[in-house]
Amino acid sequence: MTQGSYKQFCPVAMAAEVLSTRWTIVLLRELLAGSTRFNDLRRGVPRMSPALLSQRLKDLEAAGVVRRSGSGPESGEYHLTPAGHELGPVVMAFGHWGQRWIRSELSLQHLDVQLLMWDMRRNLNPAPMPRQRSVIHFQYPELKQPERAWWLLVDPRSGTDLCSIDPGFDVDLYVTTDLKTMTAIWMGLDNVRKAQTDKRLMLTGDRALARDIGTWLGLSPFAKKAALAG
């Protein structure tokens, strides 16, 4: 904690001194999701200033939550210590409570296409997809150029990539929708079939891919399973 302590022996207060500062929980969410490099973390918490990010990483290192690897090709990476990994339940508790009690209109006021696409990339499940590479092209006609078009390149053998410039491959499936609909689906507040019926989302291209979208399109870790079923 940079500022003075709560001066309480209670473990809740001691933990809060480390964790309950601005941006810290959101940063930990990003670290727990697997980001290790400074600029990857910046992408995950885009509105946090680099100065504060740097400061928080130092604070967390001093608290024994992260460790900087200093040698070899992973020099400059930030990795969670065992104490850091055990913060998973804390971050999950925040997420579950937020999903349950924050009015969804409030969440949907803070749309961010880059954050959404990156999270989708992270949670996508390539297992039920074709063995060779699939290219899925997301189109958000409402958005301006650099945010309008995204490509997910999914290869079950080598992983998933996300591009915002055309990689030049043939597209297998086009997903045309608006950002609010896609975000609501990701959060489990809406689902693909309903959005299709309402013409808020269109799937064109490979029929099998379109049919199975519910199985490979990952949802937020906090999404309620119920909503997708509809």
Partner DNA sequence: CGGGATCCGTAAAGATACTG
Partner DNA sequence: CAGTATCTTTACGGATCCCG
Binding of DNA by 167 (CB under 7 A): no
Contact (Cβ atoms closer than 8 angstroms) between residue 65 and residue 83: yes
Centroid of chain to Cα 151 = 16
Binding of DNA by 50 (CB under 7 A): yes
Binding of DNA by 110 (CB under 7 A): no
Site for a second copy in 106-125 (CB under 8 A): 106-108, 110-112, 115-116, 119
CA distance 32 to 99: 18
Site for DNA in 122-151 (CB under 7 A): none
CA distance 87 to 195: 36
Interaction partner, residue 110 (a second copy, DNA, none; CB < 5-8 Å by kind): a second copy
Helix (H), strand (E) at residue 107 = helix 104-107
96-135: b (≥16 Cβ within 10 Å) or e: eeebeeeeeeeebeeeebebbbbbbbebbebeebeeebbb
Centroid of chain to Cα 143 = 20
> What is the nearest approach in angstroms of DNA to the Cβ of residue 74?
9
User: Binder to DNA among 22, 85, 207, 211 (CB under 7 A)?
Assistant: 22
User: Binder to a second copy among 75, 79, 220, 226 (CB under 8 A)?
Assistant: 220
CA distance 229 to 194: 10
Residue numbers of the site for DNA (CB under 7 A)? Answer: 2-4, 21-23, 37-40, 47-52, 54-55, 57, 76-77
List residues near a second copy by CB under 8 A. 3, 5-16, 18-26, 29, 45, 47, 64, 83, 86-87, 89-91, 93-102, 106-108, 110-112, 115-116, 119, 183, 187, 220, 222
